[in-house]
Chain A
Amino acid sequence: MAPINTIDWIGMVGPYVVFFGMLIVYYVWEGKREQRLRKRYTEERHGE
């Protein structure tokens, strides 16, 4: 018998997989957000 059943495997590995996905989403989203803010700020600043 396998020492760890499927649910325990999922409980052990699952959160880290999800968190890794969240990290990638954050990294991409934060970059775009900063770009967007910078663009909007530049436009406001120059009254365009």
Chain B
Amino acid sequence: MASDAIAGSASVWVLGTFAVYLLVLIGIGLYTSRFMDSVGDYVIGGRQIGPVVTGFSERASEMSGWLTLGVPADAYGTGIMAFLNGLGMIPADLFSWAAIAKRLRKYTELVRSVTLPTFFAHRLGDDTGRVKGVSAVVLMLFEGGYVGAQIVAAGTLLQILTGIEPLVGIVVGGVIVIGYTFLGGYFAVAWSDYFQGTIILMAFIVLPIIAFIDIGLPFEALAQNGSSLTSITAGATGWAAAFGIISYAAIGLGVPGNPHIMVRFMGIDRVKNVRLAALVAQLFMFVAYIGAAFVGLYALAVFGGGTIENGDAVMPMLTLNLLPDVLAGIVLAAALAAMMSSADSQLLVATSAVVEDVYHGFFDRDATQAQLVRYSRYVTLGLGVASVAFAVLARNTPIYTLVLDYAWGGLGAAIGPTIIATLWWKRVTAEGSIASMIVGTVTMILWTQLPTVLEAVGLMPAESAGFWYGLVTVYGLFPAFVLSVLTLVIVSLFTSPPDGVDERFATFDKPLSAVLSEDDSPEYATDGGAVAASTASDPKVITEADNVRNHVAAVAAENTTVDAGQPAVTGEHHEHADLSVFPPAITREMVTNESTGRVIAVAYPHRVYETETDVDRPFMSSYTDDHVVSVDCSRRLAVRADMIPETGGQTVSDVIVLPSELDQRQADEKARSQAFKWTLRTSVLADVPETEITRVVDAYKLYWVVERPSGAVIIDSIQGTERTLDGCELHS
């Protein structure tokens, strides 16, 4: 067998380079981790990630497993029909950039969400924890499926390189992935995905070129291996061909539901970059999908059809066959590193979904940090072991199918419709979203097993049954997505949407620059860090405008300044007040010109902390996770900031000074608790980390309440963002 001729016979140069590359990567990771804030900063990168990296990493996150080994395997098995892998994916990705990216970026900035479950909960006005809980369970299930698929892929690579048994390869791969996650995921440093992705993409360009120079186009060789290999429908006709094409196209339906893609959208830094990032991501896809298919086709031409039992092996085998040993070692090591990096982050996403969103958010809101740390370790280990067990059970299933059926498709069907609806449809409700997630998940799982079940009970339609056979064997994401959408629409129409949706949707019609800061690095930017949810002092409201409304009392007070006919803003009004403030980027003079009435300042008390969290790592030296936490003492919110801003004393005229609703101890506790949560999300902790507050700055953040012909607005003096104040009118 051809695979035996190569498997395990990789030269010492290949193995040597492979080992050295991984060791160097670990070394660099260890070295740089001392200087980096946290892996979590990369998750949405403080929203400072440039267009090329954003576009590239949006795609590179898929380079592990599925695209690297799975698509070449698909091409090896089906021939030129594998080019249709891009049929749904490329336009769906373009649709996501065009229709989702900016809206999601704007909205998550407004509500300061960094994870999809928290975004859903905010947008759907669900404070019961149900939306968060259900979406977290979906994430746990299908991210776990991803981890299993990465473990199978890692096992396959190890098998090809060393010749070990597939089962041993998977177990070793699993141990490496879990151990790596416990050790802190050193590859997951900022440039890592980008770097591995580049190497693999280069391999997808170079391998077909070398093969082309050697043997020309592969199609002649394909035709000799079977006429179906040169047919765009793999030789199928009628319904079989139609459902085959639908299956490939339906892969694209998974794009909006996969969090690793959506998170990239949330992290975009500037308005003009969305377009450029989309261009980079799309060009990446063109190269990757065409390259991956050609790798599989050239494997057919080089090794012959049917000679390689495990299709997942064709990419590494062709790499070993065509590339010089040292380069082959680098490419395969990069592929393994990418798989481990993906598995590590997928395992952590699943863990935080279980521990924070389900356990802490739902079952035990009073859980201590020690409990959360302990449970995180257990859950990571448990999910890791479950993923290895899944990988062992599914080891004979191609990686291509594993990812599509047990990870990609499930997330696409369960989460995708809700993502689209929350950004485009005002009528969507929490109940509709929950029902859609459940139906999407259940349908995806059942449809995947449908042929097996029908076979077992003797009801499986014969291939000649055309339509029915095609329907039963079509890629499950197609029916699951359709049913999930129908459920979402029907249930939503029978239930009530949350209040205040109109106003938030109005934001979508502004240019992104009106929502985000125009500056490259605003002096005092928050990245939308997760809202602190301490039970002792839960966040009060979501936006500043909401807060002002909350301060609008039913009875006009003596110190009234903003008036909506009857109500008034409470808080203390001063004709002149000496305050320590964050110097405004948008000054009073700038907004006075555009006001038809008087401009009033509202001062929000903030405490900004610099914290250092010491994280112990097993077998390794501890590291320090640095954070800047900005606590809005009026709204009881804690969000991440890039830096402690400058402050200065100012005499502010005509200002309402809002009271702090946290005393110093509560604010300190909130900052520490937030720093702990960020650290917990990014690492498996050995113990409750100590968080030391190294610096505190107290200052007021100013907002301008401005009257316009279209109504009053409140303008953030630092970021320039503005929100309408429905119903409030200012008296001049």
Q: Contact between B86 and A15 (Cβ–Cβ < 8 Å)?
A: yes
Q: If A3-B223, A15-B86, A27-B275 touch, does A8 touch B232 (CB 8 Å cutoff)?
A: yes
Q: If A4-B219, A12-B232, A19-B91 touch, does A34 touch B275 (CB 8 Å cutoff)?
A: yes
Chain B residues with Cβ under 8 A from A30's Cβ? 98, 274-275, 278
B264-278 CB mask vs A (1 if < 8 Å, else 0) is 000000011011001
Quick check: is B364 within 8 A (CB to CB) of the other chain?
no
Given B278, B594, B596, which contacts A45 in the complex, CB threshold below 8 Å? B594
Chain B residues with Cβ under 8 A from A12's Cβ? 80, 83, 232
Distance in angstroms between the alpha carbons of A19 and B230 in the assembled complex:
22
Quick check: is B290 within 8 A (CB to CB) of the other chain?
yes
Chain A stretch 26-48: residues in CB contact (< 8 A) with chain B: 26-27, 30-31, 34, 37-38, 41, 44-47
Q: Contact between B87 and A15 (Cβ–Cβ < 8 Å)?
A: yes
Among listed B185-193, B391-399, B505-513, B671-679, interface-contacting one: B505-513
From A4, A20, A26, name the one whose CB has the most chain B CB atoms within 10 angstroms: A4
Distance in angstroms between the alpha carbons of A15 and B89 in the assembled complex:
11
Chain B residues with Cβ under 8 A from A41's Cβ? 510-511, 514
Given B86, B231, B511, which contacts A8 in the complex, CB threshold below 8 Å? B231
Q: Which residue of A lies closest to B271 (CB)?
A: A34
Chain A residues with Cβ under 8 A from B290's Cβ? 16
Q: Contact between B512 and A34 (Cβ–Cβ < 8 Å)?
A: yes
Q: Contact between B83 and A19 (Cβ–Cβ < 8 Å)?
A: no
Q: Which residue of B lies closest to A13 (CB)?
A: B83
Quick check: is B464 within 8 A (CB to CB) of the other chain?
no
Q: Contact between B97 and A26 (Cβ–Cβ < 8 Å)?
A: yes
Distance in angstroms between the alpha carbons of A26 and B278 in the assembled complex:
9
| Number of A-B residue pairs at CB separation under 8 A | 78
Q: Which residue of B lies closest to A19 (CB)?
A: B90
B255-293 CB mask vs A (1 if < 8 Å, else 0) is 000000000000000011011001100110010001000
Chain B stretch 66-86: residues in CB contact (< 8 A) with chain A: 80, 83-84, 86
CB distance from A39 to the nearest CB of B (A): 9
Q: Which residue of A lies closest to B285 (CB)?
A: A19
Q: Contact between B232 and A37 (Cβ–Cβ < 8 Å)?
A: no
Given A11, A19, A23, A34, which contacts B232 in the complex, CB threshold below 8 Å? A11
Quick check: is B551 within 8 A (CB to CB) of the other chain?
no
Distance in angstroms between the alpha carbons of A10 and B8 in the assembled complex:
40
B560-575 CB mask vs A (1 if < 8 Å, else 0) is 0000000000000000
Quick check: is B709 within 8 A (CB to CB) of the other chain?
yes
CB distance from B252 to the nearest CB of A (A): 11
Quick check: is B535 within 8 A (CB to CB) of the other chain?
no
Chain B residues with Cβ under 8 A from A7's Cβ? 232
Q: Contact between B286 and A26 (Cβ–Cβ < 8 Å)?
A: no
CB distance from A11 to the nearest CB of B (A): 3
Chain B residues with Cβ under 8 A from A31's Cβ? 275
Q: Contact between A3 and B275 (Cβ–Cβ < 8 Å)?
A: no
Q: Contact between B509 and A23 (Cβ–Cβ < 8 Å)?
A: no
What is the size category of the interface that chain A forms with chain B? 20 to 34
Distance in angstroms between the alpha carbons of A37 and B283 in the assembled complex:
27
Chain A residues with Cβ under 8 A from B709's Cβ? 47
Quick check: is B708 within 8 A (CB to CB) of the other chain?
yes
Chain B residues with Cβ under 8 A from A20's Cβ? 286
Quick check: is B220 within 8 A (CB to CB) of the other chain?
yes
CB distance from B584 to the nearest CB of A (A): 17
Chain A residues with Cβ under 8 A from B90's Cβ? 15-16, 19
Quick check: is B327 within 8 A (CB to CB) of the other chain?
no
Q: Contact between A38 and B513 (Cβ–Cβ < 8 Å)?
A: yes
Q: Contact between A3 and B98 (Cβ–Cβ < 8 Å)?
A: no
CB distance from A24 to the nearest CB of B (A): 9
Distance in angstroms between the alpha carbons of A37 and B512 in the assembled complex:
9
CB distance from A14 to the nearest CB of B (A): 9
CB distance from A12 to the nearest CB of B (A): 5
Distance in angstroms between the alpha carbons of A16 and B98 in the assembled complex:
18
Q: Which residue of B lies closest to A30 (CB)?
A: B275
Chain A residues with Cβ under 8 A from B83's Cβ? 12, 15-16
Q: Which residue of A lies closest to B245 (CB)?
A: A11
Interface SS of A by simple majority: helix
B203-223 CB mask vs A (1 if < 8 Å, else 0) is 000000000000000011011
Q: If A3-B219, A30-B275 touch, does A37 touch B594 (CB 8 Å cutoff)?
A: no
CB distance from B293 to the nearest CB of A (A): 9
CB distance from A44 to the nearest CB of B (A): 7
Quick check: is B94 within 8 A (CB to CB) of the other chain?
yes
Chain B residues with Cβ under 8 A from A44's Cβ? 710
Q: Contact between B511 and A37 (Cβ–Cβ < 8 Å)?
A: yes
Distance in angstroms between the alpha carbons of A46 and B271 in the assembled complex:
21
CB distance from B178 to the nearest CB of A (A): 39
Q: If A27-B279, A34-B275, A37-B511 touch, does A22 touch B220 (CB 8 Å cutoff)?
A: no
Q: Contact between B230 and A47 (Cβ–Cβ < 8 Å)?
A: no
Q: Contact between B94 and A22 (Cβ–Cβ < 8 Å)?
A: yes
Q: Contact between B230 and A4 (Cβ–Cβ < 8 Å)?
A: yes
Q: If A3-B222, A4-B230 touch, does A16 touch B86 (CB 8 Å cutoff)?
A: yes
CB distance from A21 to the nearest CB of B (A): 11
Chain B residues with Cβ under 8 A from A46's Cβ? 594
Distance in angstroms between the alpha carbons of A30 and B230 in the assembled complex:
38
Q: Contact between A47 and B708 (Cβ–Cβ < 8 Å)?
A: yes
B479-517 CB mask vs A (1 if < 8 Å, else 0) is 000000000000000000000000000000111111000
Q: Contact between A34 and B87 (Cβ–Cβ < 8 Å)?
A: no
Distance in angstroms between the alpha carbons of A23 and B90 in the assembled complex:
10
Chain B residues with Cβ under 8 A from A8's Cβ? 80, 230-232
Distance in angstroms between the alpha carbons of A27 and B286 in the assembled complex:
16
Q: Which residue of B lies closest to A35 (CB)?
A: B511
Chain A residues with Cβ under 8 A from B219's Cβ? 3-4
Given B222, B272, B510, which contacts A37 in the complex, CB threshold below 8 Å? B510
Distance in angstroms between the alpha carbons of A43 and B97 in the assembled complex:
27
Distance in angstroms between the alpha carbons of A44 and B596 in the assembled complex:
13
Chain B residues with Cβ under 8 A from A47's Cβ? 594, 596, 708-709
Chain A residues with Cβ under 8 A from B274's Cβ? 30
Q: Contact between B230 and A3 (Cβ–Cβ < 8 Å)?
A: yes
Q: Contact between B286 and A16 (Cβ–Cβ < 8 Å)?
A: yes
Distance in angstroms between the alpha carbons of A34 and B273 in the assembled complex:
12
Write the residues of chain B forming the contact surface with A, with a CB cutoff of 8 angstroms: 80, 83-84, 86-87, 90-91, 94, 97-98, 219-220, 222-223, 230-233, 271-272, 274-275, 278-279, 282-283, 286, 290, 509-514, 594, 596, 708-710
Write the residues of chain A forming the contact surface with B, with a CB cutoff of 8 angstroms: 3-4, 7-8, 11-12, 15-16, 19-20, 22-23, 26-27, 30-31, 34, 37-38, 41, 44-47
A-B CB contact pairs (8 Å), 13 listed: A3-B222, A3-B223, A4-B219, A4-B223, A8-B80, A12-B83, A16-B86, A20-B286, A26-B98, A27-B279, A34-B511, A37-B510, A46-B594
A16-B290, A41-B511, A47-B596 known; 10 new pairs, CB 8 Å cut-off, are: A4-B80, A12-B232, A15-B87, A19-B86, A31-B275, A34-B511, A34-B512, A38-B514, A41-B514, A45-B708
The 10 A-B residue pairs with the shortest CB-CB distance in the complex, in nearest-first order: A11-B232, A3-B223, A3-B219, A38-B511, A37-B511, A8-B232, A19-B90, A4-B230, A12-B83, A23-B282
